[in-house]
Chain A
Amino acid sequence: MAVLECPGCQYRYDEAQGDAHEGYPPGTLFESLPEEFTCPDCGVRYKEEFQKLVSD
């Protein structure tokens, strides 16, 4: 499970946690988020701009 970060506002998407408010259950892989996904906090950064912080 990986953690990915928005390079603009540092919002973190943790695959293990998902994002309950956004409707992504725990275990949802970043890869499987919609293609048009943009950062839920800043709305500026596209999905492919997110940077992987840790993975195992």
Chain B
Amino acid sequence: MTTYTLQHPDKGLISYTDKKRYLWIASVIMPIFPMLGIFCYYQTGSQWALAIPLVFTYLVIPVLDWLFGSDENNPPEEIVPQLEEDRYYRILTYITVPMHFGVLIAIAWFVGTHELTIWSVIAMALTAGSYSGLGINTAHELGHKKPPFERLLAKLVLAVPAYGHFCIEHNRGHHTHVATPGDPASSRMGESIYKFIWREIPGAFKRGWEQEKVRLNRLDKSVWSLDNDILQSFAISAVLQGGLIIAFGWIMLPFLALHNFWAWFQLTSANYIEHYGLKRDKDANGRYERCQPHHSWNANYIFSNIVLFHLERHSDHHANPTRRYQSLRNFEDLPELPNGYYGMYLLAYVPWLWYRVMDKRVLALPHINGDLSRVNIDPDCREAIVAKYGQGELVAA
């Protein structure tokens, strides 16, 4: 286990060992799970085996989060430069990029060359889509970094689920406008995920495209220029997914459509739970205050954080977006999710249960303290929410 040390003039010897160092390798062996269903199918001959990866993702991971609990450990700030320089961590993210191409091609081959029931094709498309959703997560980690090589890898991996506009829209749009009522990637209190998705997917594409257009216009280039970063990623998607259709036939059309949608929906789900109901105050100039850690929901659950490159330490990520995953910190008094992301996704898919668990948590946050004027509320639900919780009334946790 690597220990980082520093002789500090005031604090003396500072040392830090990252206990999760080798656990991060789990992110690289994640493809085992999408492939596990196919392996078990060959072993048993039963198509029911193909549902194993989905059961693992949506039922086993939330239980493992509950069992293993939280890790609130932070690296000392003085050690962070050494931790960020350690290439081991970033190499793990690099390795996952070709694996996302490999897993989609392998599952497409399986679907295209075996006699499967419609339910099995759906299970495989959702399995491949879940894993490509993790690809968007890898692109998220890489796309926030400054080295051009990492941004190139982000553009490449986004081609797998055909979501090439993500990094541009996310870094410039979402991060600038996060936790404000107009942000299509921040959910509002009272807004179900099924309503949110209609704002999030088209809104994100439109904003990303507009931003790229403005950048290219400054360079005196058309938005349809070959320098358009979004079009470059989509061109790779066309080659990849077009190649799969040519190789494995018409079945690829519904398979890839569902795969793409499910990967996008993973991002929709993450966006939905990450800022639900949270709102930045406006400063004296009428501008939104700078994004603070309490403008994102945080989670420290060990298992799902390992799978997601610490995405769940979202509060620090939004306050310091270029910080690498191994350095993200937990803080005191953050908005805390009651389970990891996969458990929270399930909850979000049942809106009445989501409101029941989350609305009182929003209102009990120290900076909100029952004050509805400090909550990002869906305008269509405002009347009902005010009637239910009152204006300025304190709500117990």
* 8 Å CB interface, B361-387 against A: none
- In the bound complex, do residue B321 and residue A46 qualify as a contact, i.e. CB atoms below 8 Å apart? no
Q: What's the dominant secondary structure at chain B's contact region?
A: helix
- In the bound complex, do residue A23 and residue B291 qualify as a contact, i.e. CB atoms below 8 Å apart? no
Taken together as a complex, chains A and B put the C-alpha atoms of A43 and B208 apart, in Å, by 14
- In the bound complex, do residue B287 and residue A24 qualify as a contact, i.e. CB atoms below 8 Å apart? no
- In the bound complex, do residue B322 and residue A46 qualify as a contact, i.e. CB atoms below 8 Å apart? no
- In the bound complex, do residue B216 and residue A23 qualify as a contact, i.e. CB atoms below 8 Å apart? yes
Taken together as a complex, chains A and B put the C-alpha atoms of A38 and B320 apart, in Å, by 14
Is B27 located at the chain interface by the 8 A CB criterion? no
- In the bound complex, do residue B215 and residue A43 qualify as a contact, i.e. CB atoms below 8 Å apart? no
Q: Give B170's nearest chain A residue, CB to CB.
A: A43
Taken together as a complex, chains A and B put the C-alpha atoms of A54 and B205 apart, in Å, by 39
Chain B residue numbers with a CB within 8 Å of A24 are 218
Nearest 10 A-B pairs (CB), nearest first? A23-B218, A43-B175, A23-B219, A9-B322, A43-B176, A42-B321, A38-B176, A43-B171, A42-B322, A23-B215
Chain B residue numbers with a CB within 8 Å of A23 are 215-219
Considering only CB atoms and an 8 Å cut-off, how many residues of chain B contact the other chain?
19
Chain B residue numbers with a CB within 8 Å of A38 are 172, 176
- In the bound complex, do residue B291 and residue A44 qualify as a contact, i.e. CB atoms below 8 Å apart? yes
Taken together as a complex, chains A and B put the C-alpha atoms of A41 and B144 apart, in Å, by 7
Is B146 located at the chain interface by the 8 A CB criterion? yes
Size class of A's contact patch? 10 to 19
B175 CB contact (under 8 Å) in A11, A22, A44, A49: A44
Chain B residue numbers with a CB within 8 Å of A49 are 290
Taken together as a complex, chains A and B put the C-alpha atoms of A51 and B355 apart, in Å, by 43
Q: Give B216's nearest chain A residue, CB to CB.
A: A23
- In the bound complex, do residue B218 and residue A8 qualify as a contact, i.e. CB atoms below 8 Å apart? no
Would you mind naming 17 contact pairs between A and B with Cβ atoms under 8 Å apart? A9-B321, A9-B322, A22-B215, A23-B216, A24-B218, A38-B172, A41-B171, A41-B321, A41-B322, A42-B175, A42-B320, A42-B322, A43-B172, A43-B176, A43-B321, A44-B290, A44-B319
Taken together as a complex, chains A and B put the C-alpha atoms of A41 and B168 apart, in Å, by 11
Q: Give A43's nearest chain B residue, CB to CB.
A: B175
The interface bits of chain B over 194-229 (1 if a CB of A lies within 8 angstroms of the residue's CB, else 0) are 000000000000000000000111110000000000
Q: Give B214's nearest chain A residue, CB to CB.
A: A23
Of B217, B287, B321, which is in contact with the most chain A CB atoms at under 10 Å from its CB?
A: B321
